[in-house]
């Protein structure tokens, strides 16, 4: 097989979700090739295996897809299944890996990070269950990337990604598939499309912001064509390789226009947005933002109303920084609640083992055992299904939820692109003091427990430690602090603030007011300003 000599790059350590770097780094000769070969060397797929390849359509997507196809041909794969135009949303790629019983898949995305020549790019390897490779595989990929000295690549012309059907690159069959069809069919199995269609026909109005990213074609097909929402329901629905110059992150900062529309007097009944690769979601009702943590809790409480979940849930899993709202639902349903480190890859084993049905993260991710990735449109459809059955508004549903379970006020403060030294010093400083914190009072808050989160996967007994500091106060409030594993510049500090009010407590406070004592406590405990050299967070979500 044709081999090219190469030398290692020292910076190919996958983060929370694959390898994410600036496009210009990925454009260096041999850079993507080294990483892809490291993946192939580690996974040792049998000859003739199937590989799914797709991306979120961002700048540089097609270049790397062609490279990956030539390399798959030279590494003995028998078939590559690729989305037309090189496009597959991350949940659709996960679905295809499972449906086609592929050995694995390469997903080309930097998710919610900006795109374009000056933006970000990424490569993630997903295993045969459709989920992100677990840490033992990503660690091995990094180790291999540190010593790589050759990669295999066919000298072949580009594949025509625009034409559906089969083509060949040497012995490799390349199958270009419609990106939306299989995914839309799966959604029809899980949800009561008739009920949602009837609700929309009855005057229920919704708005979906695809943020110029990958969910545009999926949302047009599902929401407008299949569910009958009027044209114009999907906004920013044509994918662009630079996301229209915007930041495709569905939060209150980057989806501001949608937020303002939903807060207006004549707002639609329901608003939602998804990110660059279609796995995140933002949920809004008229006059109300539902935090991702609350969304997970509300969806878990009512999931049985959708046909795909009528048998009930086996368990709920949430990442550690996600609020404890879902824990209260799990307790009431008397099902398992798993607290895992940040990163969807930690949910895969629980889902495979039937220990959880629904998973969620504060970072705008929710999903279930239908695939092994979080899934933005899935969350939107489950919300719509629940609203269609219950015939109440989003605001009414959340108010009722809080009256049943209590309310968890929640916010995440991000300090982006700060100096690595300051970030490391902050984390080291608080880790050193953890043992001394219990019993300490900060304002009106008393520390009950403080630790550096470690998780032992119950299915393979592998422990992941150093996953973020938790400071828990009497009464159920918490501060969590960790460094992001998805940024591409400097360090990003995330401070997660959470205050619990019981069902008979104050359920109608403004989030900022409710969390003010925790903001002050975080500054007192962590000296955020001096370590970050910032007076305030860059993004509050």
Does residue 344 bind ligand G16 (CB under 6 A)? yes
Q: Nearest-CA neighbor of 519 among 405, 465, 442, 426? A: 442
Does residue 342 bind ligand G16 (CB under 6 A)? yes
- Strands 234-235 and 206-209, how do they pair? parallel
DSSP 150: E
Cβ proximity to ligand G16: between 174 and 540 the closer is 540
> Is 393 designated active site?
no
> For 51-110, where are the alpha helices, taking DSSP H only?
61-74, 90-99
Stretch that binds ligand G16, among 172-180, 203-211, 339-347, 387-395 (CB under 6 A): 339-347
Sign of CA dihedral 415, 417, 422, 424: positive
Cβ proximity to ligand G16: between 192 and 279 the closer is 279
Does residue 494 bind ligand G16 (CB under 6 A)? yes
Question: Is the separation of the CB atoms in 55 and 125 below 8 Å?
Answer: no
Q: Nearest-CA neighbor of 90 among 61, 124, 63? A: 124
C-beta contacts of 311-315 below 8 A and 24+ residues apart: 313/356, 313/357, 313/358, 314/354, 314/355, 314/356, 314/357, 315/350, 315/355, 315/356, 315/357
Interface positions, 252-311, toward ligand G16 (CB under 6 A):
279-280
Stretch that binds ligand G16, among 234-242, 340-348, 415-423, 526-534 (CB under 6 A): 340-348
Q: Which of 399, 446, 464, 484 binds ligand G16 (CB under 6 A)?
A: 484
Interface positions, 392-421, toward ligand G16 (CB under 6 A):
none
Does residue 58 bind ligand G16 (CB under 6 A)? no
Q: Please tell me whether residue 178 adopts helix, strand or coil conformation.
A: coil
Does residue 98 bind ligand G16 (CB under 6 A)? no
Distance in Å, CB of 244 to ligand G16, minimum: 19
Distance in Å, CB of 280 to ligand G16, minimum: 5
Distance in Å, CB of 226 to ligand G16, minimum: 25
Distance in Å, CB of 304 to ligand G16, minimum: 26
Does residue 17 bind ligand G16 (CB under 6 A)? yes
Distance in Å, CB of 364 to ligand G16, minimum: 8
Stretch that binds ligand G16, among 195-203, 295-303, 454-462, 481-489 (CB under 6 A): 481-489
Question: Is the separation of the CB atoms in 365 and 280 below 8 Å?
Answer: yes
Q: Which of 34, 349, 357, 363 binds ligand G16 (CB under 6 A)?
A: 363
Question: Is the separation of the CB atoms in 272 and 261 below 8 Å?
Answer: no
Question: Is the separation of the CB atoms in 212 and 239 below 8 Å?
Answer: yes
Distance in Å, CB of 397 to ligand G16, minimum: 25
CA dist 88 → 106, 242, 246, 403, 499 (Å): 11, 16, 20, 40, 38
Beta bridge partners of 318: 339, 360
The CA distance from 192 to 226, in Å, is 12
CB atoms within 10 A of CB 122: 28
Does residue 61 bind ligand G16 (CB under 6 A)? no
Stretch that binds ligand G16, among 6-14, 157-165, 360-368, 438-446 (CB under 6 A): 360-368
Does residue 318 bind ligand G16 (CB under 6 A)? no
The CA distance from 47 to 355, in Å, is 33
Distance in Å, CB of 492 to ligand G16, minimum: 7
CB atoms within 10 A of CB 507: 17
Interface positions, 30-49, toward ligand G16 (CB under 6 A):
none
Does residue 486 bind ligand G16 (CB under 6 A)? yes
Cβ proximity to ligand G16: between 111 and 541 the closer is 111
Cβ proximity to ligand G16: between 357 and 363 the closer is 363
Question: Is the separation of the CB atoms in 144 and 41 below 8 Å?
Answer: yes
Does residue 215 bind ligand G16 (CB under 6 A)? no
The CA distance from 455 to 339, in Å, is 8
Stretch that binds ligand G16, among 167-175, 216-224, 257-265, 337-345 (CB under 6 A): 337-345
Stretch that binds ligand G16, among 201-209, 289-297, 383-391, 484-492 (CB under 6 A): 484-492
Does residue 361 bind ligand G16 (CB under 6 A)? yes
Cβ proximity to ligand G16: between 58 and 280 the closer is 280
- Strands 50-55 and 104-108, how do they pair? parallel
Cβ proximity to ligand G16: between 236 and 319 the closer is 319
Beta bridge partners of 491: 418
**What are the φ and ψ backbone dihedral angles of 540, each rounded to 5 degrees?**
-115, 125
Distance in Å, CB of 337 to ligand G16, minimum: 18
Catalytic site residue from 17, 89, 109, 111: 111
Does residue 112 bind ligand G16 (CB under 6 A)? yes
CA dist 328 → 64, 317, 324, 404 (Å): 44, 12, 7, 10
Beta bridge partners of 358: 316, 368
Distance in Å, CB of 380 to ligand G16, minimum: 16
Does residue 464 bind ligand G16 (CB under 6 A)? no
Q: Which of 8, 128, 485, 517 binds ligand G16 (CB under 6 A)?
A: 485
Stretch that binds ligand G16, among 56-64, 342-350, 433-441, 521-529 (CB under 6 A): 342-350
CA dist 56 → 91, 117, 153 (Å): 11, 15, 24
- Residue by residue, DSSP assigns 34-56 as HHHHHHHHHH-PPTT-EEEEEE-
Interface positions, 119-138, toward ligand G16 (CB under 6 A):
none
Does residue 343 bind ligand G16 (CB under 6 A)? yes
Distance in Å, CB of 378 to ligand G16, minimum: 14
Residues known to be catalytic: 111
Binding site for ligand G16 (CB under 6 A): 16-17, 111-112, 279-280, 319, 342-344, 361, 363, 365, 484-486, 494
């Amino acid at each position: 097989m044709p081999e090219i000599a190469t030398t290692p790059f020292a910076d190919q350590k996958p983060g929370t979700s694959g390898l994410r770097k600036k496009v210009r780094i990925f454009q260096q000769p041999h850079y993507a090739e080294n990483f892809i070969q490291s993946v192939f060397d580690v996974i040792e797929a049998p000859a003739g295996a199937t590989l799914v390849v797709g991306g979120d359509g961002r700048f540089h997507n097609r270049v790397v897809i062609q490279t990956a196809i030539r390399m798959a041909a030279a590494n003995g794969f028998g078939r590559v299944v690729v989305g037309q135009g090189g496009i597959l949303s991350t949940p659709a790629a996960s679905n295809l890996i499972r449906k086609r019983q592929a050995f694995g898949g390469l997903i080309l995305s930097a998710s919610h990070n900006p795109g374009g020549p000056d933006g970000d790019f990424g490569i993630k390897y997903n295993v045969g269950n459709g989920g992100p490779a677990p840490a033992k595989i990503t660690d091995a990929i990094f180790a291999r990337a540190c010593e790589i000295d050759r990669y295999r690549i066919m000298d072949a012309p580009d594949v025509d990604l625009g034409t559906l059907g089969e083509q060949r690159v040497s012995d490799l069959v390349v199958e270009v598939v419609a990106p939306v069809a299989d995914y839309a069919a799966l959604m029809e199995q899980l949800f009561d499309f008739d009920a949602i269609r009837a609700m929309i026909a009855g005057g229920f109005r919704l708005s979906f912001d695809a943020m110029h990213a990958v969910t545009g074609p999926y949302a047009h097909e599902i929401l407008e064509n299949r569910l009958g929402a009027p044209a114009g329901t999907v906004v920013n629905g044509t994918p662009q390789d630079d996301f229209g110059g915007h930041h495709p992150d569905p939060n209150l900062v980057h989806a501001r226009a949608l937020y303002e529309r939903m807060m207006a007097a004549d707002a639609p009944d329901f608003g939602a947005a998804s990110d660059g690769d279609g796995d995140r979601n933002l949920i809004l009702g008229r006059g109300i933002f539902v935090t991702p943590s609350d969304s997970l809790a509300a969806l878990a409480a009512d999931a049985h109303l959708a046909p795909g979940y009528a048998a009930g849930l086996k368990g709920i899993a949430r990442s550690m920084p996600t609020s404890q709202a879902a824990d209260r639902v799990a307790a009431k349903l008397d099902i398992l609640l798993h607290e895992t480190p940040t990163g969807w890859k930690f949910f895969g084993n629980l889902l495979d083992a039937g220990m959880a049905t629904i998973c969620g993260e504060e970072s705008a991710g929710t999903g279930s055992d239908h695939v092994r990735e979080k899934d933005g449109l899935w969350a939107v459809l489950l919300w719509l299904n629940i609203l269609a059955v219950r015939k109440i508004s989003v605001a009414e549903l959340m108010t009722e939820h809080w009256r049943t379970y209590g309310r968890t006020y929640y916010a995440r403060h991000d300090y982006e692109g700060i100096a690595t030294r300051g970030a490391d010093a902050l984390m080291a400083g608080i880790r050193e003091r953890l043992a001394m914190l219990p019993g300490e009072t900060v304002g009106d808050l008393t520390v009950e427990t403080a630790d550096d989160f470690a998780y032992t996967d119950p299915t393979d007994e592998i422990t992941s430690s150093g996953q973020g500091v938790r400071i828990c106060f009497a009464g159920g409030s918490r501060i969590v602090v960790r460094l992001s594993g998805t940024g591409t510049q400097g360090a990003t500090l995330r401070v997660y603030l959470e205050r619990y009010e019981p069902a008979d407590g104050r359920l109608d406070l403004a989030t900022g007011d409710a969390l003010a004592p925790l903001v002050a406590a975080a500054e007192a405990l962590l000296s955020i300003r001096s370590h970050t050299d910032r007076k305030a967070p860059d993004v509050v979500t």
